[in-house]
Structure 1
Amino acid sequence: MNGQDYYIPAAAMATALAFKLPALRHNWRDPLLRSVCALLTLAGSVFTFAAPPTIEAVNRWTGIPNFSAPLVYCLITAFSAACLVLIVNWRGGPPEQTRRVSRRWILGYAAVIVMLTLLFSLGEAPQERLRDFDTYYAGTPFMRELIALYLLAHNVAAFVMVAMCWRWSLQVRGWLRVGLMIIVVGYLFNLSYDATKMTAVVARWSGHDLDWLSTSVAPPVASLGALVSAVGFVLPLVCQRLSDSMRNWATYRRLGTLWHEVRTAGPEGAPGVRMAWWSAAELRMIQRESDIHDGFLHLGPYFDQGHRDEALSRALAAGADEETARAVADASMVAAAVRARSADPEGRVIGASEEGAPQAADGPRDLVRISRALRNSPVVAEFRRQASLAAL
């Protein structure tokens, strides 16, 4: 693999990190967001510093032959810890337990990084090796232990990730399960990377030459594993966001009938706050709910509990279930109140109570039911007709 093969995934990680940084700045205390950003940073760093041109440049800048080797190994070790911490925070649980488990992984892999640094300082690696450091120095004292330690640490992290993600995937459904299964596949590639590296190193220990496994097979396997794992981490988050956005847009549209019904109830028929075309679906939905509740407040003196009770009885008599009947009753009361408000432009109705106002106990879903009843219910249509005749 040449430098470009490393720098392209590094650039992809940097781009993803750039999109996450604004959210991190506003939500620094979010452990999941911090874990994601740490993972992207370390993943990009691993690809950047593992590229042969970077290895050569770092060795030249430091003046220490093979200084890049422990640097890359330490970054890989830190990346392994970041993956484990991300999964722990992503899965959630009691905050104290999550922090305790995350702290243990961080401290454990920090100790490995210290040991890698110490072993490199104790050993000797005078001959610069840009691509085959692992196999070239597989039999050198201290370098041998350094190579074995970083491979063991990476292997442990890969095994734990596969086990954790597999068990978790059996407990969940939807895009989260798909993402976890993809992560499992990605870490199976990482285990293959470890297997090829270890095979080449052990072959050196036994006097054989299988260096091509380490130099030609392992790097593309590692890149593929990182790419697949990244897709697994990102896919559930992206798809969940898209799903939430589509659900918010659907709720926003379904509230349209109710919003149009009550929007003229405010002072001088004020339609509410204008939203920019680029406003998020969630913000638009919340604003529409707010407009509806403002309309209910202005309609309060005109709500008639008698209308609601009568409409509820009619809906139940027509065979509607309890939930639908309540929505029809609220919608009928709203429709009648709107016409009563229109017939009283000077606002002479005073002293009425707001006890009869629709109560959206189930949040936007109740408002959606009322909006649907306004659009489809014959009971509501009849109350609207009667209220219009009474206003004449």
Structure 2
Amino acid sequence: MRYGIIIAAIVLSWGGFAYKLRDLWHNPRNPALRALCALLLAFAIAVTIGLPPVYQSIPPLMWYPSGVRLVQHLLAVLAGLAMQVLGGHVAGATATVYRFWVPYTVVTLVAMVVLFVLAPVGTDADDFVNQYAAAPFVTEYLLVFLTFAVLSLGAVCLRSVRHARLTRRRCLPTGLRLLASAGLVGIVFALHKAGYALARRFGLEPPWSEGPVSTTLVCGAALLLAVGATVAGWAPKLVRLRLRLRRYHAYRRLDPLWRRCTR
């Protein structure tokens, strides 16, 4: 079940990236499309590289498997920045993005790398938090990353809900609400992981395993993100296709009457 959710998240993430990349190919100067493609690409790589057969086939991660968590978290931070850039272009508030989010992202990335290098982390990548949260610098590393995640996802949720109320474009409010839902699931993931890490740091043993819960939440957020980011493009086509099918069946039902009239 767990790997089924991961595979579904990987397929939809890469599918969403390929779908929007086609739009970017036709409109390469659109900054919002560039940010959206960067967001989907970062999430797709982060989810994909977490599979053991994938990271165990990459030479640096073969020797140091725990490094895959650092790579995933760095990609998640970059995806968070792409979210802010996308929202800034949509809302016309790019100044705030470059004045606050870009410096904050750089500081977060540097702090994460430094703390991860200082941490006495072993080779257990599958149960990273449970194994190493009690070690020096690991919980600090996680809190730096998760604080960024909560702040960036919270901004995405608020902006998506606000614009969903204002826009009248077909299917776009649905996509924005799905993006807000993805952000909310991501916040739950961050709070869960932070709480679990702090519990392990203070010597407590939570009665559940952190890995499956976090994986489910991340994959759920990735699924909502992929659908929400692309629904405004493909949903109207599905509506038109459904309308054509209904018309086709209606014409088929009217065919006997039409033949009698023409005779």
**Do they fold alike, i.e. is TM over 0.5?**
yes
Pair 1:211–1:117, CA change in 2 (3 A): farther
Asked whether the equivalents of residues 176 and 236 of structure 1 are also in contact (C-alpha less than 8 Å), the reply is: yes
- TM (norm. structure 1) is 0.55
Q: How does 1:299-338 map to 2 (within 5 A)?
A: none
Contact 1:77/1:109 (8 A) holds in 2: yes
Gapped regions of structure 2 (runs ≥ 5) = 242-263
Q: Distance in 2 between matches of 1:237 and 1:211?
A: 43
Q: Name the CA shift for 1:149/1:197 in 2 (closer, same or farther; >3 Å).
A: same
**Deviates further, 189-198 or 102-111:** 102-111
Q: How many residues align?
A: 240
The answer to whether the 8 Å contact 1:186/1:228 transfers is: yes
**Larger relative helix fraction:** 2
Q: Which of residues 131, 145, 149 is equivalent to 1:136?
A: 131
When residues 176 and 106 of structure 1 are mapped into structure 2, their CA distance, relative to the original with a 3 A threshold, is same
In structure 1, the gaps of 5 or more residues are: 247-392
Task: Specify whether residues 193 and 129 from structure 1 end up closer, same or farther in structure 2 by C-alpha distance, changes over 3 A only.
Answer: same
Residue 102 of structure 1: aligned partner: 97
State the Cα distance separating 1:86 from its structure 2 match.
1.8
Query: Are residues 32 and 45 of structure 1, via their aligned partners in 2, closer, same or farther at CA, if it must alter by over 3 Å?
Result: same
Check conservation: 1:3, 1:52, Cα contact below 8 A: no
Q: Please give the root-mean-square deviation of Cα atoms over the aligned residues, in Å.
A: 2.7
Corresponding residue number in structure 2 for 1:63: 63
**Does the 8 A contact of 1:56 with 1:130 survive in 2?**
no
In structure 2, do the counterparts of structure 1 residues 143 and 205 end up closer, same or farther at CA, with 3 Å as the change threshold?
Answer: closer
1:33-77 CA-partner distances (Å, limit 9, x unpaired) = 101211121111111112233344447656335221211110111
Deviations along 1:334-386, one digit per CA (max 9) or x if unpaired, are: xxxxxxxxxxxxxxxxxxxxxxxxxxxxxxxxxxxxxxxxxxxxxxxxxxxxx
CA distance in 2, matches of 1:196, 1:61: 26
Q: Is the 8 A contact 1:35 1:86 kept in 2?
A: yes
How far the C-alpha of 1:208 sits from its partner, in A, is 1.3
**Counterpart-to-counterpart distance in 2, 1:177 and 1:17:** 20
The residue matched to 2:166 in structure 1 has which SS? coil
SS at match of 2:125: coil
TM superposition shift of 1:114: 1.8
The aligned residue for residue 77 of structure 2 is 77
Asked whether 1:235 is paired with 2:231, we answer yes
> Are the counterparts in 2 of residues 2 and 52 from structure 1 also a CA contact under 8 Å?
no
1:1-392 equivalent positions in 2, closer than 5 A: 5-58=5-58, 61=61, 63-89=63-89, 91-93=90-92, 97-98=93-94, 100-103=95-98, 104-125=100-121, 127-173=122-168, 174-210=170-206, 212-239=208-235
Q: Residue 190 of structure 1 contacts residue 222 of structure 1 at CA under 8 Å; is this kept in 2?
A: yes
Q: 1:18 & 1:50 partners in 2: Cα distance?
A: 20
Alpha-carbon distance in structure 1 between the residues aligned to 2:132 and 2:207: 11
Matched letter for residue 47 of structure 1:
V
Name the amino acid aligned to 1:150.
F
Cα distance in structure 1, aligned partners of 2:32 and 2:104: 20
Percent identity between the aligned chains? 23
Q: For residue 123 of structure 1, report the CA deviation from its aligned partner.
A: 2.2
Range with greater deviation from structure 2 (40-49 or 205-214): 205-214
The alignment partner of 1:190 has SS state of helix
Match of 2:252 in 1: none
* CA–CA separation in structure 1 for the residues paired with 2:201 and 2:152: 24
Q: Find the aligned partners of 1:153 and 1:64 in 2 and give their Cα distance.
A: 25
Q: Distance in 1 between matches of 2:104 and 2:136?
A: 24
**Residues 55, 145 of structure 1: CA spacing in aligned structure 2 closer, same or farther, 3 A cutoff?**
farther
Kindly provide the amino acid, as one letter, of the partner of residue 233 in structure 1.
A
CA radius of gyration, larger in: 1
